[in-house]
Chain A
Amino acid sequence: MNFKHKYVFLFPGLFVLIGILIFPIIFTIRLSLSGWNSYTPEMNFIGITNYIRLFTDDPRFWESFFRLSFLSVTTVILQYIIGFALALIVWREIKFKRFFRVIFLIPMMTTPVIMTVIWRTFFHESLGPVNDLLGNLGVKPILWLSDPVIAKFTVIIVEVWQWTPFMFLLLLAGLLSLPKEPFLAAAIDGASPFRKFVYVTFPLMAPISIGAIIIRLIEASKIMDTVFVLTSGGPGTATETSSFYIYIKGLREFQMGYAATLSFTYLVIMIISLTIIAKVLTKLMIKE
């Protein structure tokens, strides 16, 4: 068999890669250099006009990006802490261990949009049960969705509830795969549970933790459905995130060219920032 013929077998995979990854990126870049919108429905060429507009005249995009950074970092930190704690609980020999493992996974298995609708009903300020319950305890109604600061925390609550199970699942898998010897050695040395966690469990879990955090950060940075259903980015622009803003520009205002510019810029920023975050986390959490 001719050696070169082996490359033929790469073609199917290559075509798929070009079709689902390379082509959309190239198309997005080309679209970002056009002024395609509702009144100019064509792939004309306007150079870097859209990029100039983004970097000089669109503070709303940057505000939404910094808001997204706050929301995603906060939610992922909370998910990590709670997910780790839950994983540690069911890692031990406790009663109904299997039952709890399944229970903790339920939020992740529900459909985000539908659950957000239910959360929105819970947090409805005049008709929802949360304020009703608080009222019975003598607490004044809380503006869960209409106060610019509280609304951000409402989004965080929903995101943490929905996605902590994912963190829990990864971390539990990590815990179950840890070698037994270091724990036996620590037990023989008489280490307290706290010292065992700090000096044995946490360092051994570091590579898995970094992986879990990065995966969740990538997912959290695309937050759209929760914001869309829960607050529509409001009140004002208080909960508007980058992806929601790009959606508004592209599919509400039909500024296709400009939305492509936002999307491509966002992609570049995310690749750079997540690479930096991964390196920093590796340096902080994994000791040679």
Chain B
Amino acid sequence: MKTIKTCVTALISALLVFSPVAYADKWSDQFPHIKATGDIPGECSYESMSKKNYKGKTLKINTHAVPVMGEPTALHAEQFAKLTGAKVDVTHTPAGDLYAKAMVPFQAGQAPYDIVFGFSNFINDWKRYLEPVPKKYVEMKQMQDVTPSHIGIASWDGVMYQFPVDGDRHYLKYRKDVIDNPKYQKKYKADTGKELRVPQTWKEYGEMAAYFNGWDWDGDGEKEYGSAEVMKKDDLMYAAFYSRSAAYSKNPKTPGGFFFDLKTMKPLINNPGFVEALTDWVAATKYVPPGGINFGLGDEIGSFGGGQTLFSFSWDDAFVAAMQPDSPINNKVGAAQLPGAMKVWNRTTNSWDEGFNQAPFFVWGWAVGVAKKSKEKEMAFDYLCFFANEANHQADIGIGRFGVNPFRNDDFKADVWTQIGWDKDIAQSYVDTLAQMEESKNRVFPLRVPGTFEFNAALATAAAKALAGQLSPQAALDEAAKQWEDILNRVGKDNVRKAYSVGVAMEDNKL
């Protein structure tokens, strides 16, 4: 009798102890996407969603084209439909049309989509048409793990309008097998008299990129080049330019605006700091691959991820793509903060402040909201919550083409990345880089004001003219500054100032 009792107790104990694993096996069998972790218990886990019943209801989603963000949207839609019985219609739209495709019906008072994907810097224009994220989601466990920076990016005046599904920043990616290679370090020293190391400044970046441009330095029989950058007009190139400008223009001694002087609303984009950055960038056209001046984000990811260049800087996607098992440069890349500069422009004294300066750029990322006029708000928020649940998130961030990047505190642990096959030191340098950016007190956040598109387009056009040799960097940025003045006059300085003050408060560490 005693033996039977002991056996029953052991069996019950085992069931209790291993029950989460049992759940994980059950769900990962049906949904192989989460096979690495299984289901992770939470308010929006697979288990929780399977208890919802949305049979007979249809959820309409407008998202980006496949694969970046479009692929995970479709995948999670299919999973959500299987779990809840809902019908989910996913429409894929090119990046350049996401804004207008939502904005036209928004302004016409219609809601053809319950959920709209876009970029986080749309928030100012979209917020009046979006339903604030309900309290129950804001307070749930998975949201508590989102970093304060990304809560700030998804919110406006303390109200969360965008459901965090992605976290973005620009940082430097480099070929570790070259920069850390003693043979190349010796050769570089002998030829240039300088150290080959992770570039600390944009000038060093340019020198190294130019040195390693146009010859086969990895022995694959193909020529390699210095740098892959997003230089194509109308394809997010303005973000790349801001990244290059931050070190020269974001001076911690002069709070009160990076893009404008908040007091006067005078555009700052043609000051010597920005001009220096654009001058560097024009020089960069000499060390990008042939045709690199027309590289959009996809080209940049493919170029660096395919092993064509020494450096790259932009979103996480190129790095994660390079670290995937099928990449030719798997475990041969390193991450570091964006290079700095040995001088930074001081707009108060109208002179350069000498000394090292570095400023991370928390560039906009993918954002998603629920239309205020949607008739399926509860289902829409449940879908978003399910999209970003812990199991899905951990699986998504390891797939470069998905465009889902770290935005939770747990993502900044090296173990998360070593589990998917990254070398320990690379994983550590990656999470250290992200963590240092989070901790920096000299950060730049994206421009999120009325007319953001007009401001960024004017800047991109001017910068593109400089890169194509149509205008000098100073003339190009003077042209952009003049257009910014015109846009300010059209939108209203006070309207822009009011919105811009929110971003400035984040940059000045007041939020």
Contacts and interface: CB of A to CB of B under 8 A. Distances in A.
Contacts of A144: 291
Interface stretch (A7-15, A169-177, A249-257): A249-257
A148 B469 contact: yes
B464 A237 contact: yes
A254 B467 CA distance: 26
Interface string B281-299: 0000000011111101000
Contact of B454 (A60, A251, A253): A253
B100 A143 contact: no
Interface stretch (A26-34, A178-186, A218-226, A227-235): A227-235
B100 A252 contact: yes
B232 interface: yes
Contacts of A145: 291, 294
A131 interface: yes
A141 B214 CA distance: 12
Contacts of A248: 234, 457
B495 A235 contact: no
Nearest to B285: A146
Contacts of B421: none
A236 interface: yes
A38 B496 CA distance: 13
Nearest to A236: B468
A57 B486 CA distance: 10
B465 interface: yes
Interface string A91-108: 000000000000000000
B96 interface: yes
Given A37-B451, A131-B290, A254-B453, A235 B464 contact: yes
A124 interface: yes
A143 B125 CA distance: 39
Contact of B232 (A38, A143, A232): A232
Nearest to B469: A148
8 contacts: A126-B225, A131-B290, A232-B294, A235-B293, A236-B467, A251-B96, A254-B100, A254-B453
B470 A237 contact: yes
Q: Which 6 pairs, one residue from A and one from B, show the smallest C-beta to C-beta distance?
A: A125-B291, A236-B468, A125-B290, A235-B468, A39-B450, A41-B107
B65 interface: no
A144 B292 CA distance: 12
B118 to A, nearest CB: 12
Interface string B306-343: 00100000000000000000000000000000000000
A38 B450 contact: yes
A238 interface: yes
Interface of B: 96-97, 99-100, 103, 106-107, 125, 225, 232-235, 289-294, 296, 308, 450-451, 453-454, 457, 461, 464-471, 486, 490-491, 495
Contacts of B490: 35, 37
Contacts of A233: 233-234
A22 to B, nearest CB: 22
A252 B453 contact: yes
Nearest to B99: A254
Contacts of B450: 38-39
Nearest to A42: B107
Contacts of B470: 148, 236-238
Of the listed residues A37, A38, A251, the one surrounded by the most CB atoms of chain B closer than 10 A to its CB is A38
B429 to A, nearest CB: 29
A57 B483 CA distance: 10
B461 A237 contact: yes
A37 B291 CA distance: 35
B359 to A, nearest CB: 27
Contacts of A35: 490
A39 B495 contact: yes
B467 A235 contact: yes
Of the listed residues A35, A234, A251, the one surrounded by the most CB atoms of chain B closer than 10 A to its CB is A234
A262 to B, nearest CB: 14
B233 A236 contact: yes
B301 to A, nearest CB: 14
A234 B453 contact: no
Interface string A124-161: 11100001000000000101111010000000000000
Given A235-B467, A236-B461, 19 more contacts: A38-B125, A38-B450, A39-B125, A39-B451, A39-B495, A41-B107, A60-B461, A125-B289, A126-B291, A126-B292, A146-B293, A146-B468, A232-B294, A234-B232, A234-B464, A235-B468, A236-B469, A237-B465, A252-B100
A226 to B, nearest CB: 15
B464 A38 contact: no
B96 A143 contact: no
Contacts of A236: 233, 461, 464-471
A1 B493 CA distance: 68
Contact of A231 (B225, B294, B461): B294
Of the listed residues B100, B235, B290, B486, the one surrounded by the most CB atoms of chain A closer than 10 A to its CB is B290
A57 B482 CA distance: 11
B468 A148 contact: yes
A146 B234 contact: no
Nearest to A145: B294
Of the listed residues A35, A126, A141, A238, the one surrounded by the most CB atoms of chain B closer than 10 A to its CB is A126
A131 B223 CA distance: 14
Contact of B468 (A38, A57, A234, A252): A234
A254 B100 CA distance: 7
Nearest to A232: B234
Contacts of A131: 290
B477 to A, nearest CB: 14
A77 to B, nearest CB: 26
Of the listed residues B292, B293, B308, the one surrounded by the most CB atoms of chain A closer than 10 A to its CB is B293
B468 A251 contact: no
A233 B471 CA distance: 16
Contacts of A235: 233, 293-294, 464, 467-468
Nearest to B223: A126
Contacts of B471: 236
A251 B308 contact: no
B174 to A, nearest CB: 20
Contacts of A146: 290-294, 468
B453 A143 contact: no
